[in-house]
Amino acid sequence: MKKLFNIILAVAIFAAAPAIAQSTFSIQYSMGFGNNDVKSFISSASFRGAALEYRYHIEPKFAVGADIGWNTFYERRAYDTYTSGTVSLSGVQYRYINAMPIYAAFDYYLKPDEKVNPYIGLGVGTLYTKRNTDMNLYTVENSVWAFGLRPEVGVLVNANEGLDIQLAGKYNYGFEAGGLPAQSYFTFNIGLVFKGH
Amino acid sequence: MNSKIYSLATVVLLTVLFGCYPGGAEYVNEYDITYSNYDNTYNFVSKGTYSLPDKIMKIKGDVISVNPQPPEYVKDIYATPILAQIDANMSSLGWTKVDVNSNPDVQLLPATWESTTIIYGGYWGGYWCWYYPYYCTGGGWYYPYVPVTTYTTGTLVMSMVDPNAESTDSNRRVVWTGAINGLLAGTYDPSRVSKGIDQAFKQSPYLKTN
């Protein structure tokens, strides 16, 4: 987890530093909602998440950049019996998924000169998933780096000359990898976008 | 102005995220687990008698040594209700308790650990030679399946051994293992052990005999 924190911090510092023309930096609070395998493993939504985005605007309607995010899913499963082969194990289970998407991003803005500016975006990169099942003092851990895609729709609402408020819906999809089936979840993000001068 | 908002947003977000990282068990009994495993080639249905010692062995130390010292036993005040509960569960599964000298089909041997203990296969079976002298003549017992290899603090293990099924090196066949594991609390809580024993048999319906 410390490693993850360091990565996020490094990206934050890196992305915040070049406050130069045509670049923006966004810091977002992210809520996650599991889909398919993620949902069957943990049905609860995640309210622990964040995302950082850097964008370089090639032209008013088009930007490229980089994203990094983090969502933690957690669920306590009530006392139950789990059987595999001849082994049966009963107890309370604690399940965790730490998901970290890292993408190269491409955004298209529909109304860049207006106060309310909708956009669509696509992220291409990797989705790191670390899945833990804890029982007693033991944990079963499975972590994979999967090829990932992230379509996104959102809107920027201009607050002042250097600041936008951002609302975004994203769908993170990590392809099957390392023994884990495809991992996917939706996020709803609320962020602040800081613009360069 | 915006730089202040940025700083504030960053601090708030990181504080919320890392301050609210999800926890795990909050109560000691939430660490309790019950494990069972068995030899699925063994015909339990055709058996019907078992023996049970009147003591529960208490094994100390992290690793069983090559030449173990005579063991201690769990105090009767704790052991008696545990043994009675094992009896009740076996009885409800159709087993009849007999004296160890009456050639029981299986022997049920309970033992406890109070520290992290590494079990080397059937090695610790030799401990029982103080109770059943013939265990001293062989190496102990053997597992036809992969046993749990590590037990953590506070474990009660019930090993069901078929004394008539010997391997070529005189080890006896362990046909079922039930283990209850949890963190040791400041005071002994019989309800946690009791619940675990019932669970071990409940999740092992294949033990039922005719």
**Chain B residues in contact with chain A using a Cβ-Cβ cutoff of 8 Å:** 1-2, 5-6, 9-10, 13-14, 16-18, 20-22, 24-25, 30-40, 145, 152, 181-183, 199, 203-204
Are β-strands A116-135 and B72-73 bridged in parallel, bridged antiparallel, or unpaired? unpaired
Q: CB–CB of B25 and A90 under 8 A?
A: no
- Do residues B82 and B54 lie in contact, with contact meaning Cβ atoms separated by under 8 Å? no
What's the CA angle centered on A180, arms A34 and B148, to 5 degrees?
A: 110
Cα B41 to Cα A52, B2, B48, B105, B206: the distances in Å are 56, 72, 17, 16, 11
The pLDDT of residue A158 is 94
Nearest one of B95, B99, B103 to B45, comparing CA atoms: B95
User: Which tens digit of pLDDT belongs to each residue from B113-158?
Assistant: 765 544 444 444 555 555 555 555 555 556 555 555 444 457 888 9
Closest CA–CA distance from residue A130 to any residue of chain B (Å): 14
* Cα–Cα distance, A104 to A120 (Å, whole number): 14
The pLDDT of residue A70 is 94
- At B58, list the tokens: 């208490």
**Chain A residues in contact with chain B using a Cβ-Cβ cutoff of 8 Å:** 1, 5, 12, 16, 27, 29, 48-50, 70, 72, 74, 81, 83, 86-92, 94, 96, 134-137, 160, 162-163, 192, 194
Residue A34 pLDDT exceeds 90 = yes
User: Which tens digit of pLDDT belongs to each residue from B50-86?
Assistant: 999 998 887 765 445 555 566 678 888 888 999 999 9
What are the φ/ψ torsions at residue B75 (nearest 5 degrees)?
-55, 145
User: Which tens digit of pLDDT belongs to each residue from A144-193?
Assistant: 999 999 999 999 999 988 899 999 999 999 999 988 899 999 999 999 99
Of B2, B6, B30, the CB nearest to A92: B30
For the CA atoms of A15, A16, A21, A22, the dihedral, rounded to the nearest 10 degrees, stands at 50
Nearest one of B75, B29, B57 to B183, comparing CA atoms: B29
With CA atoms as reference, the chain A residue closest to B10 would be A27
With CA atoms as reference, the chain A residue closest to B144 would be A86
Closest CA–CA distance from residue B37 to any residue of chain A (Å): 5
Cα B140 to Cα A32, A129, B122, B125: the distances in Å are 54, 45, 6, 4
* Cα–Cα distance, B110 to B198 (Å, whole number): 14
Q: CB–CB of B24 and A134 under 8 A?
A: yes
Give bridge partners of residue A121 from the DSSP assignment.
Answer: A107, A152
The string of DSSP letters for B29-97 reads: GGG-EEEEEE-TTS--TT--EEE--SS-EEE-SSB--SSPPPPEE--HHHHHHHHHHHHHHHHHTT-EE
Cα atoms found within 13 Å of the Cα of residue B114, Cβ hemisphere only: 12
- At B49, list the tokens: 């008698």
* Cα–Cα distance, A181 to A171 (Å, whole number): 16
What is the complex's ipTM, to 2 decimals? 0.72
Q: CB–CB of A194 and B1 under 8 A?
A: no
Chain center to CA of B195 = 13
Give bridge partners of residue B195 from the DSSP assignment.
Answer: none
3-state secondary structure of B199: helix
Residue A105 pLDDT exceeds 70 = yes
Q: In the structure, how many helices (H) and strands (E) does chain B have?
A: 3, 11
Give bridge partners of residue A119 from the DSSP assignment.
Answer: A109, A154
- At A190, list the tokens: 């609320």
Look over chain B and give the mean of its residue pLDDT values, rounded to a whole number: 76
Question: Which segment of A34-38, A53-57, B114-118, B148-152 scores lowest on mean pLDDT?
Answer: B148-152
Size of interface A-B (CB pairs under 8 A): 80
**Does residue B118 or residue B194 have the better pLDDT?**
B194
Counting residues of chain B whose pLDDT is more than 70, the rounded percentage is 64
**Does residue B137 or residue A19 have the better pLDDT?**
B137
Of B5, B14, B32, the CB nearest to A163: B5
Residue B168 pLDDT exceeds 70 = no
Question: Which pTM value belongs to this model?
Answer: 0.71
